Amino acid sequence: MMEEQDILELIKGRKSSRMPFDENRPIDPAVLKMILEAAAWAPTAHNMQNFEIVVVDDKSVLTELSKLKSPVSPVFIQENYPQLSFSEDEWKERKTGILAEQFPPEWLSEEARQGKLQPPASELGEQVRRGPVLLIILYDPNRRAPASEGDFLGVMSLGFMLENMWLTAAAYGIGFHILSVLGNEPLAAEVKKTLGIPRHLHIALSCRLGYPANDPPRLRVRRDLEDFVRYNRYED
């Protein structure tokens, strides 16, 4: 049985694996089934279970998807600026956000900062093609949580399901990377057409699963408990 400390260490070790995966190392079907079982047992508002999952592990389908082009929103680039740190020391001090070095250099220009940069659309490429498994997470708006404005509880439920899968994958040393771009139009329409997804279902996001071909250690930051925990009353 997993000890409490083991659970916390598993949570701390969970991370996004943004690098290409080893395309010659498949995921054991039994392990993949456990990851999907973890999704099934996630808590969802009113037990609505408001999701469907398309498992893509056929190399020809992955290759077809990899050729689809993904536009980048200028708003996405612009709104990331408040989250950027331009040195590791700054990042350690802020304890939130991401390092600017994760962005292409042209995304750090003044034009990009003003929301005027429109990068050309690019293919999804080898990240999708080389991954042994791609999960397409579908949201069913017909299974809406009652009395939840904007279906906030339903969207939150998707997060619970995702975390269950992510931690299970991490327990088996499997890399996990969220690709939110597949849910953005017009790319989402192309993905749905390729995979035969019904029109009423929305692509919430997708997840790449696999074994990283190269996964060097990197700095990670989090706020300390005293930065966000209050007891009994909220006071500045």
Count the helices and strands in the chain (H runs, E runs): 10, 8
Q: What tokens appear for 129 in the block? A: 């093609």
Distance CA 97, CA 82 (A): 8
Element containing residue 156 per DSSP (H, E): helix 152-171
57-66 pLDDT, tens digit per residue, is 999 999 999 9
In this structure, the strands spanning 133-139 and 51-56 are: antiparallel
Residue 1 binned pLDDT confidence (cut-offs 50, 70, 90): very low
Identify the pLDDT of residue 102. 87
Distance CA 44, CA 33 (A): 20
103-151 pLDDT, tens digit per residue, is 888 888 889 888 888 888 888 888 888 889 999 999 998 888 888 898 9
Distance CA 129, CA 10 (A): 28
Give the phi and the psi of residue 50 in degrees, each rounded to 5: -85, 35
Distance CA 57, CA 55 (A): 6
Beta strands per DSSP E along 89-171:
98-99, 122-123, 133-139
Taking the CA of residue 68 as centre, how many other CA atoms within 13 Å lie in the half-sphere pointing to its CB? 23
Residue 229 binned pLDDT confidence (cut-offs 50, 70, 90): very high
pLDDT at 234 over 60: yes
**Cβ distance 121 to 187 under 8 Å?**
no
pLDDT at 43 over 60: yes
Extents of the domains making up the chain: 16-71+122-212, 72-120
In this structure, the strands spanning 84-85 and 98-99 are: parallel
Identify the pLDDT of residue 5. 59
> What CATH number does domain 16-71+122-212 carry, 3.50.50.60, 3.40.50.11740, 3.30.365.10, 3.40.109.10?
3.40.109.10
